[in-house]
Amino acid sequence: MKRAAPARKPRGSKPAGLSFQDLLFRLLQFWASRGCVIQQPYDLEVGAGTMHPETFLRVLGPQPYRVAYVQPSRRPADGRYGENPNRLYKHTQIQVILKPSPADVQDLYLQSLAAIGIKLREHDIRFEEDNWESPTLGAWGMGWQVLLDGLEISQFTYFQQCGGLDLDPISAEITYGIERIAAFLQGVDNVYDLRWSEDRTYGQVRLAEEQQFSRYSFELADPARTRSLFETTEAEALALLATYKPEAEVERRGFPVLAVYDLCLRCSHLFNLLDARGVIAVTERAALIGRIRRIASRVAAIYVEQSVGPSAPAVTT
Partner 1 sequence: MKKAVTHADFFLEIGCEEIPAWMIANACQELKVLLEKYLGAAAILENQKAESYGAPRRLIAYIPALLLKQADMVKETVGPTKAVAYDHEGNPTRAALGFAAKFGVTPQDLILVQTPKGECVASRQMVRGRGAREVLDEILPRVLQEIPWPKNMRWTEAGGPRFIRPVRWMVALLGEKVVPFEFAGLRAGDQSSGHRFLGKARISVSSRADHSAKLRRNFVITDPAERRAKIERELRDLAGKKNLCIHKDAGLLELVTYLNEYPTVLLGDFDAKFLELPQEILLTVMRDHQKYFGVEGKAGHLAPHFFAVINLDRDREGHIRSGHERVLRARFADARFFWETDMKCRLADNIPKLAQVVYESKLGSYALKVERVREIAGWLARDWAPAKADATAIDRAAMLAKCDLVTGMVREFTELQGIVGGLYARAQGEPEEIAQAVYDHYLPLGLEDHIPRNLTGCCVALADKLDTLTGCFAVGRIPTGSSDPFALRRAAAGLVKILLERRLPVSLPGAIGTAAKSLRKHNPALKFSGEIEKQVLAFVLDRARFVLQQRMGFGYDEINATLVAGCDDLVDAADRLAAVKAIRRTPNFEPLAVAFKRIRNIVEKAGPESAWKTASVNPELFTEEAERTLHAAAKEVAFRVADLKRRRQYWEALERISTLRPAVDDFFDSVLVMSEDEAVRKNRLTMLAELLREFSTIADFSEIVTEAADAGRKKK
Q: Which residues bind partner 1 (CB under 8 A)?
A: 1, 3-7, 84-86, 100-101, 103, 106, 110, 120-129, 131, 141-142, 144, 148-151, 158, 160, 166-170, 172, 184, 189, 281-283
Is 189 or 198 the residue whose CB approaches partner 1 more closely? Answer: 189
Give the C-alpha separation, 74 to 92, whole Å.
Answer: 9
CB 154 to partner 1: min, Å: 13
For residue 49, give the nearest of 136, 164, 176 by alpha carbon: 176
Residue 97 φ/ψ, nearest 5 degrees: -120, 125
How far is Cα of residue 230 from the mean position of the Cα atoms in its chain?
Answer: 21
Closer CB to partner 1, 5 or 250, in the complex: 5
How far apart are CB 3 and partner 1 at their closest, in Å? 7
* In the complex, minimum distance from the CB of residue 222 to partner 1, in angstroms, rounded to a whole number: 20
Beta strands in 46-194 (DSSP E): 65-74, 90-99, 125-129, 132-134, 139-148, 151-162, 165-166, 172-177
As beta bridge partners, residue 141 has 132, 159
Question: Alpha helix locations (H) across the chain?
Answer: 20-32, 53-56, 105-115, 178-186, 202-215, 223-242, 249-254, 257-276, 282-308
Nearer to partner 1, 124 or 198 (CB): 124
242 vs 281 by CB, closer to partner 1? 281
Q: CB of residue 22 vs partner 1: minimum separation in angstroms?
A: 20
Give whichever of 48 and 118 is closer to partner 1, judged by the CB atom. 118
Q: How far is the CB of 148 from partner 1 (least distance, A)?
A: 7
